Amino acid sequence: MAWFLARLVLRNCFRHPLRTALTALGIIVAITAFGLLRTTVDAWYAGAEASSASRLVVRNKNSLMFPLPLYYRNRIEQLEGVKSVSYADWFGGIYIDRKNFFPQFAVEPLSYFPMYPEFVVPPEQMKAFQLDRRGAIVGRKTAEKYGWKVGDQIPLIGTVFAGNWSFVLRGIYHGADARTDESQFFFHWDNLNETVKRILPDKANQVGIFLVALEDPSTAPALSKQIDGMFANSRAETLSETEKAFQLSFVAMTEAILLVIQVVSFLIIVIIMAVMANTMAMTARERRREYATLKAIGFEDHHVVALIAGESLLISLAGGAIGIWLLYPLAAWVGHRFATIFPIFIVSDRTPLAAAAMAALIGVVAACAPAWRAATLKVADGFRALG
């Protein structure tokens, strides 16, 4: 019987090939869009996801725009539980054109990279970088995008730090895994500081943030308090938090947008649900006489319900499967196309599961009304002309 019902469901699907195809197409588009929007939200959080809870970011309490004195480094380093301290400045230069965006940081070359093992640099390149004050290291994606080779001169126009800058590319890093941002550009903080000393002497020896590696992640709250306490009532008070919290504070600014994206992704599902429910209702209405015939012969309500639910689920799950299958190349393309906005644009493991659940939900919801109507259909009424 199960075999028979399955065969009948399959054949029913192909009775109106165009209708079935269009419905499936709608589901494919909806599921792909759902997955893509979810991936977009994930991409927004990706920076925070990848960041560590065992590192602290120390910044100026008033604003990220205000720097901190370099000498804080020694004081922080002396605290119990601190493994190492590094520091960095946001550079924000322009490569030829404003639209060529990639993140650029002036970093302390010896301490910075050991703190970020996810940036994998060949040892000889790392050595060359450390030895060259004008040297720079860039992520694989950015290097590929602009066709840079090790040894190339990279000109940047400063915005925060005005002037024409030139760096020599000494290394290209790869991400340790797919979630590592491979778009960043690093150069010597000393290089930056020298110029600042010359043109803005009173801004010299100041850094944007300190990065603090901890012996034990569980001490993060205590050490944050300790650091901030140490510099309380000074000219530059600090705000310390885990790197994750620091990254999330950027995401928080766009939380409203993310919420809208999430709402839209579910609205798409609701819309296709309504479309599919309408299609199934129409289909079931056309087959009313057939359901009545089956019931007259002795088939029971659950058989008829299985026919309708089976057809609805078959279409929605097939559409869902194709949608999920399309999601991967599409996400790869979006990730490539918008690499500057979303350095990490990867379909998470949960997304196909959520998308499949949505596809199943569409199928079940769409089948509800027509299945109910077919189950409660009085056989004798089924043979009467539609009133």
Partner 1 sequence: MAVAEPPIVEIVGLAKSYRRGDQVVPVLQDINLSMTRGEFVALMGPSGSGKSTLLNLIAGIDTPDRGRLAIEGVDITGLSEGELARWRAEHVGFIFQFYNLMPVLSAFENVELPLLLTRLDRRRRREHVQLVLELVGLADRADHYPSQLSGGQQQRVAIARALVSDPTIIVADEPTGDLDRQSAREILDLMESLNERLAKTIIMVTHDHLAAERAHVVRHLDKGVLTDRIERPRARATG
> Cα(71)–Cα(271) distance, rounded to whole angstroms?
59
- CB atoms under 10 Å from CB of 345, counted, come to 21
Nearer to partner 1, 9 or 346 (CB): 9
CA gap 245, 13 in Å, rounded: 51
Considering the rule CB under 8 A, would residue 6 count as an interface residue with partner 1?
Answer: no
94 beta partners: 157
In angstroms, give the least distance from the CB of 5 to partner 1. Answer: 9
How near is the Cβ of 321 to partner 1 at its closest, in Å? 24
Q: Which stretch binds partner 1 (CB under 8 A): 62-70, 90-98, 154-162, 291-299?
A: 291-299
Nearest in space to 64 (alpha carbons), one of 42, 84, 83, 92: 92
By the rule CB under 8 A, 244 interacts with partner 1: no
Residue from the set 1, 18, 253, 386 that interacts with partner 1 by CB under 8 A: 1
Verify binding: residue 285, partner 1, rule CB under 8 A: no
Helix (H, G, I), strand (E, B) or coil at 311: helix
Q: For helices 255-286 and 243-253, give the axis angle rounded to 10 degrees.
A: 60
Kindly tell me which of 20 and 142 has the beta carbon lying closer to partner 1. Answer: 20
Among 68, 106, 136, 294, binds partner 1 (CB under 8 A): 294
Contact window for partner 1 (CB under 8 A) among 5-13, 68-76, 180-188, 195-203: 5-13
Site residues for partner 1, window 56-85 (CB under 8 A)? none
Among 299, 325, 328, 372, binds partner 1 (CB under 8 A): 299
Q: Which stretch binds partner 1 (CB under 8 A): 6-14, 27-35, 67-75, 358-366?
A: 6-14
Q: How far is the CB of 380 from partner 1 (least distance, A)?
A: 4
Alpha carbons 310 and 316: distance in angstroms, whole number: 10
Dist CA 14 CA 22 (whole Å): 12
By CB under 8 A, tell whether 133 contacts partner 1: no
Among candidate residues 216, 244, 212, 205, the one with its CA nearest the CA of residue 227: 212
Question: Which of 296, 302, 294 lies closest to 371 in space, CA to CA?
Answer: 302
CA nearest neighbour of 248 among 24, 55, 110, 44? 44
Chain contacts with partner 1 (rule: CB under 8 A):
1, 4, 8, 11-12, 15, 289-290, 292-301, 378-380, 383
